[in-house]
Amino acid sequence: MSAEAESAGPDIAAPQNHTFEADVAKLLHLMVHSVYSDKDVFLRELISNAADACEKLRYEALSNPSLLGEDQKGTIRITLDAVARRITVADNGIGMSAEEMIEALGTIARSGTKAFVERLESAQQAEGSQLIGQFGVGFYSTFMVADKVEVFSRRAGSDVANVWSSDGKGSYSVAPVGLDEAPARGTKVVLHLMEDAKSYAETYTIERLIKTHSGHVPVPILLADKPDAEPQQIADGAALWTRPKSDISEADYTDFYRSAAGQFDDPALTIHFRAEGRQEYTMLAFVPGSRPFDLFDPQRKGRMKLYVRRVLITDEADLLPGYLRFVRGLIDSADLPLNVSREMIQESPLLTAIRKAATGRVLSDLEKLATSDAPAYVKIWENFGAVLKEGLYEDFERRDALLGLARFKSTTSGGEWRSLKDYVASLKDNQTAIYYLAGDDAKRLENSPHIEGFRARGIEVLLLSDPVDSFWVTSALGFEGKPFKSVTQGAADLDLIPLAEKPEEQTPEVSAAIASYIAYLKTTLGEDVSDVRASERLTSSAVCLVAPDNGMDKRMEQILASAGKLDGALQKPILEINPRHALVTRLATAREAGGDAAFIESATRLLLDEARILDGTVPTDPAGFAERLSQVLAKSLG
């Protein structure tokens, strides 16, 4: 046993075998056994990891300069061996201990692993394996081209080196190695290529991939075409964001975005500017062209990196609010101190000011795009609108700006997206509110009985099918002086707005028979409803349920109840009946004429069951509902 192995201690003196966590093993199987159309991603991921390791060393060296030693400049060195079908990607960055190897290479470090794998599986089934390339699969992408991967690493300042090894089939091992087998500092990844991936050991192929996908990483990249050849510099490590915008092409931005964001699509919007004045910083940010897999991660973490004078400080800084977590990129500050902890930087007033300005700039650029290129903005909204709307109840200061950015489907939009400015411009005479209907199914919303009276008068109703909608509409005061009003809550107040087709017709007075039947409904339904009344909002349906004037919207109540966060019992709904509907008038007439009392009661209770079903719920007494339905059907067939 070597002296180095002995110094590592008895717990890692011999190779230790480990099994990948279940989700990682599943991910590896998906990648290796998929007909993957773009395996090139593996090199970009390795170079990105190596660059991060060099940047992390620069940060740690601020407080411990001895970590750098004589090797002051970070570099990434790629060595090819076509004869042995081998690629080596080495860096002189921070390196890893054995424990860090297990944590970093044996698990998917970030949360949402299970959701990632599930989406990967569904994407493969629904759209083919090519879609896998839209996800950043990280280090594990190496197993798409290699049947064995070895990672030699020595942490900066340590005299112990270790090797991580796996064939990607479910397990890996970690063992100490002699210092002559590992870099003097940093990490060396050795890929033993599969037969069908041997072209990746050719100089032309690798040089092309470096220039295409990784030419703008902030660390120089050297390439040696043979194990004993002198390496040549392929990329100079100049940080793209420090260059003038006029010197950067769209392709340069796209390459950098893919490398930094771990995406394989094109950015939908690029935001690059330099702020000067009270705070001096550069921001380079991108709105992805497709949804990242972790968009709805419950932790709602952002993916913006914080640099201070080109030194990577952290990729977990709170640089943008949670509702902009889909934005990828970085902020490089010239003012923040380098000699304080990352935790202290998070609390810095300077960072707070930068965060505020950066958020305003992102929203401003989105607004400019919405004005200058509406179709491009609509694509962004379709991907991220549900997330942006979180800001409507979280960020009071920017609520007006976010309302201006919001887009909606409505009863009059014909499937197209509408802004609130469009809505207000088309208000009917005497219309005093912005009407909306919230639910969990867009198709059901379109067919809801609650909007019949509004449609008949040509009044636009916003159809809100995202869960977040029920929250922000209750906190938003309105738009341009018009409050938001749910069509499922309170009275419709439509008397002052004429019908679109026959404006001379007014809502007829309720007949004596209908008035008597309404009183009967109140007595018969008793505690199941808080009130029964004739409806202004119904034109073709017989019944519907609405929330009381002073209660919460029905959709909000359903969400809180399903989450177990509703204090007390559900509020009793109001049953509205259509006094002009044939079923209602016949029941009222039959009752007035002294018809079969049991039959009329069963049919009356079926009206309430029908209203519940139309509301997207189920009858509270399924057995009673089935019995009543059978009774009514038998009577009608007799």
DSSP 130-198: GGGGGS--GGGGGGGTEEEEEEEEE-TT-S-EEEEEE-SSSEEEEEEE-GGGS-SSEEEEEEEE-GGGG
SS3 call for 113: helix
145 is in an annotated binding site: no
Question: For residue 236, what are the contacts with CB-CB under 8 A and spacing of at least 6?
Answer: 220
Residue 96 assigned to a binding site: yes
DSSP secondary structure string, 506-549?
Answer: -PPPPPHHHHHHHHHHHHHHGGG-SEEEE-SS-SSSSEEEEB-T
Cβ atoms 31, 143 nearer than 8 A:
yes
Instruction: Determine the 3-state secondary structure of 430 from DSSP.
Output: coil
Burial (CB count within 10 angstroms: exposed 0-12, middle 13-18, buried 19+), residue 167? middle
Buried/exposed 216-236: b ≥16 CB within 10 Å, e otherwise:
bbbbbbbbbbeeeeeeeebbe
Query: Binding site annotation covers 256?
Result: no
Measure Cα distances from 220 to 75, 100, 198, 239, 244 in Å: 5, 25, 25, 10, 20
490 labeled part of a ligand binding site: no
- Taking the C-alpha atoms of residue 113 and residue 116, their distance in angstroms, rounded to an integer, is 5
Burial of 110 (0-12, 13-18, 19+ CB in 10 A): middle
Is 469 annotated to bind a ligand? Reply is no
Residue 228 has which token pair? 């004993």
124 is in an annotated binding site: no
Whose CA is closest to 536, among 504, 571, 572, 509? 509
Answer yes or no: is 139 a known binding residue.
yes
How far, in Å, are 128, 490, 564, 565 from residue 568 at the CA level? 48, 21, 10, 9
The residues near 551 (Cβ < 8 Å, ≥ 6 apart) are 489, 557, 571
- Taking residue 527's Cβ as centre, other Cβ atoms within 10 Å add up to 6
Does the annotation flag 168 for ligand binding? no
Annotation-wise, does 9 bind a ligand?
no
**Residues 106 and 18 sit within 8 Å (Cβ to Cβ):** yes
128 is in an annotated binding site: no
Residue in 114, 120, 134 with CA at minimum distance from that of residue 22: 114
3-class SS string, 198-220: HHHHCHHHHHHHHHHHCCCCCCC
306: part of which helix (H) or strand (E)?
strand 303-308
**16 marked ligand binding residue:** no
CB-based contact 262:138 (threshold 8 Å): yes
- Find out whether 391 is annotated in a ligand binding site: no
Sign of torsion over alpha carbons 559, 562, 566, 571:
positive
Q: Which two tokens stand for residue 556?
A: 């909000």
Residue ranges for the known binding site for ATP are 45, 49, 91, 96, 111-112, 134-139, 187, 342
Residue ranges for the known binding site are 45, 49, 91, 96, 111-112, 134-139, 187, 342
